[in-house]
């Protein structure tokens, strides 16, 4: 059995004949906080959407928890929490009602609703409808939704979008705590300085090609003193 929580093999994808992913072999180690980094249009969101079955796979393989995703979709998704791009919330419902909608499907204890609201700082939102939330609050609700089923794997696309500095620090602490409890976290973000404080592993994608993956220490080999941003720019420019 592999030690990878999530693995893709030669994953390729095209939109209207234009290749956007080219033979991606991504491996997210169990127990890691994996930063999936790349400039806009590099193929990060497409990769994440393929991993979650939101896009029909064209070429390659995806396995999660050591099992092929397509053949085990429902079982796999019951242990995965996700937030892809902008948060998905039902505007006419309150935060608790939004979570109640999903709690029915996940069949998790109803107490989880209050717990994740507390974790994400939304416990006091009461009867306020999600449609009237600020972007930061919607983002927190999106994260609460992702945590609802007590997942073993979290897939979060730009999770700190719209959060204020205090919120970013809170979420960083939350992700660290979750990770220390055994949750594997796959994060995609543009905020490289923020990612550097959090991630244990990185995968760098550019123009649909995976340029690097490994631990942060491996990424820094031969680049002592350089921050993640400089290494990232160096790697992507080299392939430009």
Partner 1 sequence: MLFINSFRSEWLKKRRTASSLLTVIGALLIPLIVLIARLDDAGALAAVNRQPRLWENLYGRNWQLMGLLLLPMGVVLATSLITQIEYRNNTWKQLCTTPQSLTMIFLAKFSVILVMLVEFFLLFTFGIWLTGVLPGLFFRDVPYPVEPLPVKAFFNGSARFFLDILPVVALQYLLSLRFKNFLIPLGAGLGLYVASMIAVHWRHGYWIPYTYSAYNFMGGAGATFHTHYWAAGYSVLFIGLAYILYITRKEKG
Residues forming the site for partner 1 (CB under 8 A): 49, 52-56, 73-75, 77-78, 80, 82, 84-86, 88-93, 97, 100-102, 104-107, 129, 145, 149
As measured in angstroms, the least distance from the Cβ of 103 to partner 1 is 8
Q: Judged by CB, which is closer to partner 1: 35, or 151? A: 151
Contacts of 107 (CB under 8 A, 6+ apart): none
Query: Where on the phi/psi map is residue 182: left (φ > 0), alpha (ψ -120 to 50), or beta?
Result: left
Q: Judged by CB, which is closer to partner 1: 82, or 213? A: 82
Q: Judged by CB, which is closer to partner 1: 60, or 214? A: 60
How far apart CA 226 and CA 75 sit, in angstroms, is 42
Residue 134 DSSP code:
-
> 23 in helix, strand or coil?
strand
Nearest to 149 by CA among 97, 109, 95, 89: 109
As measured in angstroms, the least distance from the Cβ of 193 to partner 1 is 28
As measured in angstroms, the least distance from the Cβ of 226 to partner 1 is 36
As measured in angstroms, the least distance from the Cβ of 88 to partner 1 is 4
How far apart CA 53 and CA 72 sit, in angstroms, is 11
Structural tokens at position 98: 């939004």
Q: Judged by CB, which is closer to partner 1: 88, or 209? A: 88
Q: Judged by CB, which is closer to partner 1: 100, or 115? A: 100
As measured in angstroms, the least distance from the Cβ of 220 to partner 1 is 34
Q: Judged by CB, which is closer to partner 1: 100, or 220? A: 100
How far apart CA 133 and CA 95 sit, in angstroms, is 9
As measured in angstroms, the least distance from the Cβ of 66 to partner 1 is 17
Q: Is-contact 180 174, C-beta < 8 A?
A: no
Q: Is-contact 116 103, C-beta < 8 A?
A: no
How far apart CA 59 and CA 5 sit, in angstroms, is 20
């Amino acid at each position: 059995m592999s030690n990878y929580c999530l693995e893709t093999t030669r994953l390729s994808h095209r939109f209207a004949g234009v290749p956007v992913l080219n033979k991606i072999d991504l491996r997210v180690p169990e127990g890691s906080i994996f930063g999936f980094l790349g400039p806009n249009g590099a193929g990060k969101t497409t990769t994440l959407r393929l991993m979650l079955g939101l896009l029909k796979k064209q070429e390659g393989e995806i396995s999660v928890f050591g099992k092929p995703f397509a053949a085990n979709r429902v079982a796999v998704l019951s242990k995965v929490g996700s937030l892809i791009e902008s948060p998905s919330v039902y505007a006419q419902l309150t935060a608790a009602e939004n979570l109640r909608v999903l709690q029915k499907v996940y069949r998790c204890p109803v107490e989880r609703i209050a717990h994740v609201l507390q974790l994400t700082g939304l416990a006091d939102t009461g009867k306020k409808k999600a449609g009237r939330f600020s972007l930061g609050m919607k983002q927190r609700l999106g994260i609460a939704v992702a945590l609802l089923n007590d997942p073993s794997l979290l897939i979060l696309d730009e999770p700190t979008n719209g959060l204020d500095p205090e919120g970013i620090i809170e979420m960083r602490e939350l992700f660290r705590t979750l990770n220390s409890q055994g949750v594997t976290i796959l994060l995609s973000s543009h905020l490289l300085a923020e990612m550097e404080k959090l991630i244990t592993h990185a995968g760098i994608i550019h123009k649909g090609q995976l340029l690097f993956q490994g631990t942060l220490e491996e990424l820094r080999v031969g680049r002592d003193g350089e921050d993640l941003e400089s290494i990232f720019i160096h790697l992507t420019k080299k392939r430009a």
